[in-house]
Amino acid sequence: MKQVPFLDLQRIHREIRGPLEEAFHRVLDSGWFIMGPEVEAFEAEFAKYCGVKHCVGVGNGLDAMHLLLRAYGISQGDEVLVPSNTFIATWLAVSQCGAIPVPVEPRSETHNIDPDALAAAITPRTRAIIPVHLYGQPADMDTINAIARRHSLIVIEDAAQAQGSEYKGRCAGSLGDAAATSFYPGKNLGALGDGGAVLTNDASIADKVRLLRNYGSRIKYEHQDIGYNTRLDEMQAAFLRVKLALLDEWNAKRRTLAEIYTAQLQNTGLELPSVPVWANPVWHLYVVRSSNRDALRAHLDQCGVSTVIHYPIPPHRQACYSEYSSYKLPLAETLANEVLSLPMSPFLTEQEASHVVEAVRSFPGKGGKQQNEPLPDVH
C-alpha cells in the first residue's frame, strides 16, 4: 500500500545534500563554532528577507520569545495576552518571566487570535500581546496593532510557523514591535538541530537580546546582566543559509499542495482552512476540522496516510498549568478535539496529495461523504 509520510525531512535533505555538506566542511575547517561569521551572515540575510533591521540568532524559538519578553522588561505580575490554542512554548516564555499568560480565544474560521476577544481581555496589568501566526497564516495584525496602540501594549509576534508568510504584502516577523521565530527542524525554515531568532527594528531591544543570549556580556568576561547561554551556533547558521535561499521556492510548493487539498476536499463535510484576503500563508500545516476526527484519523492511517494533531491538549488543560483548570475556553477545547493536520512538505508529490484526497473521500463516517454524493439542500 502507498504510504504518505506527514513530513519527510530526509527527502528535503537529499535534495540539498551537496550544499549542506559544503556548509559543514566550511565550518569544520574554520575551527570556529560559536558566534562567528556564519551567524553574522545569516542574521543579516534573514533580517533582509523579513524586512527588518535586526535579527539576533538564539538557541531555539522558546528562548527567542523569553529573551524578548525580558528585553521589554516584562516581569512578575505583568499580564501577557496569548492565544488559548497555541503550542505551549508561547505560554512558557511568559511564565519564565514570572508574568501571567492570559488566554484569548481564536476566531473559529482562522484559528488565529480573535481581536474582539483580545480587546475584552485587557486589564490595567496587561503589558503585551503575543499573536501567533498559527499554521503559517498571519494573524489580523493591523487590528491587533491598533488595539495595542490604544492601550500602550507591546506586540510580539510568534512567527515560529510562519517564515515567509505575508500580511498585506509584508513579511511575518516585521508586523509588530518584535518577533520570535524558531528553526526547529520541522519548521518551514528548519535547522539540523535547534535554533531560533529574534527580529525587530528596535536597535535597543536587539542589543538587549544580544546581551541576554551571551551571559549578559558584551565584552568578554564583563557582565552587565544576569544573562543566559542561548546562541545560534555556526554550524546551524551555515545550514540555515543554504535553506533560506530555497525558502520561497519551498513555500511555493506548499501553496500548490494546499490548493490541491482545498480544491479537491470540497463537500467532504470537513471544515477546510479559511484564508482572509489579506493573508498569503506558507502552510506550515494544512489543518482540517472534523467532528469525527479520531475515526477519520484512524481511517487515514489504514490508507497509509500519516497525520498529526496540532495540538491535542490546550495549554490550560496541561498539568503544568493546573491553576487554569477551571478556565472555560470552549473554542480551544473544541479545536483540540477536532483539528487534524494532513501531510504537508515541499517534497510531497502531487500524486501523494491526490492519494490523501482519495483517502479522505473514502472515509465512510460523518465528516467525509462520498465524492459524488449530492450536496444536502442549502438555501
The binding site for ligand PLP (CB under 6 A) comprises 60-62, 86-87, 89-90, 132, 158, 160-161, 182, 184, 194, 196
Residue entry with cell 525587530: 200
Q: In terms of CB distance, is 89 or 257 closer to ligand PLP?
A: 89
Q: In terms of CB distance, is 229 or 302 closer to ligand PLP?
A: 229
Minimal distance in Å, beta carbon 220 to ligand PLP? 27
Q: Using CA atoms, how far apart are residues 80 and 82, in angstroms rounded to an integer? A: 6
Q: Which residues contact 104 (CB under 8 A, 6 or more apart)?
A: 81, 82, 83, 84, 113, 114, 117, 118, 121
DSSP 129: E
CB-CB contact of 199 with 158 (8 Å): no
**Distance of CA 61 to CAs 181, 221, 303, Å?**
5, 27, 34
Minimal distance in Å, beta carbon 158 to ligand PLP? 5
Other C-beta atoms closer than 10 Å to the C-beta of 275 total: 15
Beta bridge partners of 271: 289
Q: Which amino acid is at 85?
A: N
CB-CB contact of 89 with 196 (8 Å): no
Question: Which residue in the shown chain puts its C-beta closest to ligand PLP?
Answer: 61
Minimal distance in Å, beta carbon 195 to ligand PLP? 7
Q: In terms of CB distance, is 62 or 288 closer to ligand PLP?
A: 62
Minimal distance in Å, beta carbon 82 to ligand PLP? 10
Q: In terms of CB distance, is 279 or 360 closer to ligand PLP?
A: 279
Q: In terms of CB distance, is 114 or 194 closer to ligand PLP?
A: 194
Minimal distance in Å, beta carbon 205 to ligand PLP? 19
Minimal distance in Å, beta carbon 137 to ligand PLP? 12
Q: Is the dihedral of CA 17, 198, 168, 129 positive or negative?
A: positive
Per DSSP (E only), the strands in the chain are: 54-58, 79-83, 100-104, 126-129, 154-158, 166-167, 170-171, 178-182, 196-200, 279-280, 286-289, 339-342
Q: In terms of CB distance, is 62 or 67 closer to ligand PLP?
A: 62
Q: Using CA atoms, how far apart are residues 210 and 198, in angstroms rounded to an integer? A: 10
Minimal distance in Å, beta carbon 85 to ligand PLP? 10
Q: In terms of CB distance, is 284 or 289 closer to ligand PLP?
A: 284
Minimal distance in Å, beta carbon 83 to ligand PLP? 9
| Helix or strand holding residue 53 (H, E) | none
What are the b/e assignments for 214-249, b being 16+ CB within 10 Å? bbebeeeeeeeeebbebbbbbbbbbbbbbbbebbee
Q: In terms of CB distance, is 66 or 299 closer to ligand PLP?
A: 66
Q: Using CA atoms, how far apart are residues 352 and 292, in angstroms rounded to an integer? A: 23
Q: In terms of CB distance, is 184 or 283 closer to ligand PLP?
A: 184
Q: In terms of CB distance, is 46 or 184 closer to ligand PLP?
A: 184
Residue entry with cell 549578559: 216
Minimal distance in Å, beta carbon 379 to ligand PLP? 39
By CB atoms closer than 10 A (0-12, 13-18, 19+), residue 120 is exposed
Identify the CA nearest to 12 among candidates 194, 192, 182: 192
Minimal distance in Å, beta carbon 311 to ligand PLP? 9
